[in-house]
Amino acid sequence: RLANLRAGDLDMLERLAATDAASVRGDADLSIAQATSLGYQGITINVANGERANSPIGQDARVRKALSVAIDRDVINQVVFEGAFAAGNQAYPPTSPWYNAAYPVPTRDVNAARALLAEAGYPDGIDITVQVANNPVQQQLMQVIQAMAGEAGIRITLEAKEFATLLSEQTAGNFIGSQVGWSGRVDPDGNIHQFMTTDGGLNDSGYSNAEVDRLLNEARTSNDIATRRALYTQASDILMADLPIIYLYHQVWIWALDSGIQGFVPYPDGMIRLQGVSMTQ
């Protein structure tokens, strides 16, 4: 697609690969636009969805926290995405008004991860299996995480699967960990309610907490921003301790454009809106 843009066969392309961003910035005939997405990528942990939830990481939040603090999200961004994406640890990006600032993206702490494993009764570490989509970007992501986690005593075996199969296995509970993401929604409810409430439509982890249910159900019935923000903050206080999903990063939508295009505005939902856009030859 980038070659076609440079050849003049295209005027714009969406979702430029992060690894191509530097090349586009160095091309006087092209311009670049970007916006941090509304969604996220993370590792969903099976905590109560069938027999495979009976694993150390599924049954003990301390083990899940150990994996989280063993990961250097900034290094992932640099190594896999050449610094183009945004590190994250919540259902919303740090640029969102719904982000809980009391929990900034954690720094990596291997010693803390090992201490958490020992506290949970696993001083010699654990072995887990994580399924991942069989595309090169997500596999590279999980290989970096595999190396980081291994240094903390969390030995990860990766299972590469076709994406539709991965989703099917998640729904069926046939997984321990699953590297998967969500495209995101403008309203915060769309990023969290169906994933975290008991019997939520996309709650593949099987997570259930009555107080989280109450808070998220109440938040979706209010149209007062301050009220909703307080409720989501209270819910995230619980979820940051329980960690049914270990959030990793937020994709940045990147557009590459012919330099003759003027007035294009990038939006966090990734949609192309051409109102006000013009082009000079």
β-partners of residue 86 are 250
Distance of alpha carbon 82 from alpha carbon 78, whole angstroms = 4
Q: Does residue 117 belong to any structural domain of this protein?
A: yes
pLDDT tens profile 142-151: 999 999 999 9
pLDDT of residue 103: 93
Residue 112 within any structural domain of the chain: yes
Q: How far is CA 214 from CA 28, 32, 190, 235, in A?
A: 54, 43, 16, 9
In a domain, 100, yes or no: yes
DSSP string, 230-245: HHHHHHHHHHHHH-SE
Nearest to 175 by CA among 57, 39, 40, 41: 57
Total domains, the chain:
1
Q: Report pLDDT digits (tens) over 139-176.
A: 999 999 999 999 999 999 999 999 999 999 999 999 99
Mean pLDDT across the chain = 96
Rg (the chain; Cα; Å):
20
Question: Closest by alpha carbon to 12, among 251, 250, 268, 278?
Answer: 278
For residue 188, being part of any structural domain is answered with: yes
Question: In the chain, what percentage of residues exceed pLDDT 70?
Answer: 100
The confidence score (pLDDT) of residue 76 equals: 96
Helix/strand/coil for 129 = strand
* CATH number of the domain to which 68 belongs: 3.10.105.10
Record the tokens describing residue 43, joined without a space: 């590792």
Residue 210 belongs to domain spanning: 40-252
How confident is the model over 233-240, as a mean pLDDT? Answer: 96
Q: From 64, 150, 241, select the one nearest 56 (Cα to Cα).
A: 64
**What letter would DSSP give residue 105?**
P
For residue 124, is it within any domain?
A: yes
pLDDT at residue 62 greater than cutoff 80: yes
Average pLDDT score over residue span 55-69: 98
| Per-residue tokens: 250 | 């937020």
Average pLDDT over residues 228-254: 96
Alpha-carbon gap, residue 130 to 128, rounded angstroms: 7
Please indicate, yes or no, if residue 106 is contained in any of the structural domains.
yes
Backbone φ and ψ for 87, nearest 5 degrees, come out as -60, 150
Q: Which residue has the tokens 């969604």?
A: 39
The Cα 212–Cα 196 span in angstroms is: 8
pLDDT at 95 over 90: no
Closest of 281, 244, 245 to residue 261, by C-alpha? 281
Asked if residue 91 is part of any domain, the answer here is: yes
Using CA atoms, how far apart are residues 90 and 103, in angstroms rounded to an integer? Answer: 9
Closest CA to 18 of 147, 146, 136: 136
**How many other CB atoms are found less than 10 A from the CB of residue 139?**
16
Specify the pLDDT at position 281. Answer: 76
Does 206 map to a domain? Answer: yes
Q: Do 213 and 38 contact (CB within 8 A), yes or no?
A: no
* Whether pTM exceeds 0.75: yes
Alpha-carbon distance of 22 to 32, in angstroms, equals 10
